[in-house]
């Protein structure tokens, strides 16, 4: 019977260093996962919202007629 790697978590929680729980990997608990999430949302990783205010009109391409019906 070989050891199951999924049953053993070699990586500790990135927040507090406790053994990570399988349910909250790579963290040990929902709280630590939440802490990491807020680091992303509230820190320098914050991404400014970009709104495009352009109308979604159909793009009509000009027909030159050079490559068709040249007979």
Residues that bind Zn ion (CB under 5 A): 13, 15-16, 18, 28, 32
**Which residue is associated with the tokens 């978590």?**
9
- How far CA 58 is from CA of 38, 54, 61, 62, 65, in Å, comes to 41, 12, 9, 13, 20
Among residues 16 and 37, whose Cβ is nearest to Zn ion?
16
Least CB distance from residue 15 to Zn ion, whole Å?
4
DSSP assigned state of 56: -
With respect to Zn ion, which residue has the nearer C-beta, 22 or 51?
22
Residues of the binding site for Zn(2+)? 13, 16, 28, 32
């Amino acid at each position: 019977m070989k050891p199951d790697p999924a049953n053993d978590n070699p990586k500790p929680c990135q927040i507090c260093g406790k053994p990570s729980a399988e349910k909250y990997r790579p963290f040990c608990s929902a709280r630590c996962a939440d802490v990491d999430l807020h680091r992303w949302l509230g820190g320098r990783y914050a991404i400014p919202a970009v709104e495009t205010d352009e109308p979604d009109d159909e793009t009509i391409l000009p027909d030159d007629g050079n490559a068709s019906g040249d007979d």
